Structure 1
């Protein structure tokens, strides 16, 4: 009785977000479509038709698109029972937001040394963030068979920046302030996705969220093709005042540096404000921002 109750509690606590996603794989063996691995059925005999299966590919892969960024706690994989369980050996679980190399270039959660025939094994990913979860066998030609993939995760935080209105102290060429909230982290200036001011004294960029939010983090993507040091010493300011164009609001962080083309996240720990400013105080400088993302808690 007590065991059954505990089992129910555990099942309620586990949120399998895999079944809400969309799937793809490098190829399809017969009718073993990628959706079979998220059908909620751990049946592990291939002929029960509940396994996804690729052809004998070089670097075969399977990908789950969760449609939004999630924090991934665990990934559970059920291996084939009736044949060839060793094929899964050496497979990697990759999690992230990039589709470079079909998503296989994202950060690695785990390497699967082996999973017993018909067994389900859980791999801890410790809150890694990503929209895409890939399982790939790198470096060899192989069949990839997955009889079920379950993902315990929660939605990550919402980027409220894209809901706001923006302004900046001046505009260099066509590098309008809206470029920094277009959802595109492209960091080469000539790609047209960066905001940039003229060479101002105390240049600033401001996001108006239209109402007060608790801001957990601010993520800034720096320019890649030139001058990454220009961002050094910039401050992130958050509050409800427009004194000094919003630059007098409380400070969340000082940016010591951001590598060329990199995205760096600054913790603001729930600071409240309608306005988020990025300002370079005390010197004449260009302010270039290729993307600004502001996170607040989200719910499933």
Structure 2
């Protein structure tokens, strides 16, 4: 089987994405038809005819699913799926790729990376997940009774650096529609408004968003994902502020960086070099604007801990 090439990193990461050894993971599925065990999808073989003994198979389930447990949390860049060749490739139409750390609903309620419109018979198709964080990769056919067959599943990504933002509390200067501040720390870099993972303030003077890390950290990096479907220029000139003061809602704390521009839908990492603070603010100072953030990720170490937080 030809291995996938290494995929170049996004701006948010310092290392190249690499093909994960999914054989080291554990797999399960909603049911079993014949010898179509879930392990066949990670056997390193893209053979796509049923008689070649390399494709999984469930029974005709309502909402059939297959799940890969990577054993550790990764930032997932791509998921490549090989469809069956000798029969019924249309069964995979409408399947969803879900990635996250929850086992609620067997993992099928985790954030969605992609919907498979179709994969031609015997073909492998790659879906871009843009660094979505998760231990579990699910493939589920929602909303109908169907067989689920996968002839290979390949995943690229890298071990997730501890994102200390996930355990924090958030607030923002105002609220537009459903764009609550918690959306920026939901572990999902989805960047289209309709995907329900971006914050949104009203149009106001000096709009801001604030993360309370609950204790003081030495902050190494702040990674911000900008909106894709509309108006990425709104974030131009925003400032990242880090410190322990709540004066001016935290916006007068020392400045880590000024965001000159982040292209639509992209993630950019800003180096803060161990700045100390409990609060991480993002503020658009000096003008009337909307503030939208599709994800904010923070790395660092608790104050007084000499060991940097590294890969899990």
Give TM class, smaller chain.
Answer: 0.5 to 0.7
Q: TM-score, normalised by structure 1?
A: 0.56
1:78 corresponding residue in structure 2: 82
Judged with a 3 Å threshold, the aligned counterparts in structure 2 of structure 1 residues 238 and 51 are, in CA distance, closer, same or farther, namely: farther
The answer to whether structure 1 residue 16 and structure 2 residue 19 are counterparts is yes
CA distance in 1, matches of 2:102, 2:64: 18
- Which secondary structure state, in structure 1, belongs to the residue aligned with residue 27 of structure 2? strand
| Structure 1 residue 207: Cα displacement | 3.4
Compared CA separation, residues 251 and 274, structure 1 to 2 (3 A)? closer
- The alpha-carbon deviation at position 155 of structure 1 amounts to 2.1
Mapping for residues 120-159 of structure 1, pairs under 5 Å: 120-159=124-163
> How far apart, in 1, do the equivalents of 2:35 and 2:129 lie?
31
CA distance in 2, matches of 1:205, 1:53: 45
**Using the alignment, how far apart are the partners of 2:117 and 2:47 within structure 1?**
22
Which consecutive residues of structure 2, in runs of 5 or more, have no partner in the other structure?
8-16, 167-211, 225-239, 245-251, 258-267, 281-296, 301-308
Question: Residue 65 of structure 2 corresponds to which residue in structure 1?
Answer: 61
SS of the counterpart of 2:18?
A: coil
Check the 8 A contact 1:92/1:138 in 2, yes or no: yes
* Unmatched 5+ stretches in structure 1: 1-6, 163-203, 219-234, 240-247, 254-266, 280-292
Distance 1:88 1:252, change over 3 A: same
- Match of 1:108? 112
Question: Following the alignment from structure 1 to structure 2, what is the Cα–Cα distance between the partners of residues 298 and 52?
Answer: 36
Structure 1 position 69, deviation (Å)? 2.7
CA RMSD, 1 decimal: 4.0
Q: Structure 1 segments of 4 or more deviating over 6 A?
A: none
User: d(CA) in 2 for partners of 1:252 and 1:117?
Assistant: 51
Q: Is the CA contact (8 Å cut-off) linking 2:219 and 2:299 kept in structure 1?
A: no
Q: Deviations over 1:205-233 (max 9, x none)?
A: 86366xx5624369xxxxxxxxxxxxxxx
1:207/1:275 contact within 8 Å kept:
no
- Which structure would you say has the larger Rg? 1
TM-score by length of 2: 0.54
Inter-CA distance 236–140: structure 2 relative to 1 (3 Å threshold): same
Shift of 1:237: 4.6
Q: Displacement of 1:66 after TM fit? A: 2.0
Aligned mates of 2:94, 2:213 — CA distance in 1: 47
Aligned length: 207
Distance 1:206-1:118 versus aligned 2 partners, 3 A rule = closer
Q: Does 1:31 align with 2:32?
A: no
Q: CA deviation at 1:132?
A: 1.6
- Could you tell me which residue of structure 2 aligns to residue 216 of structure 1? 222
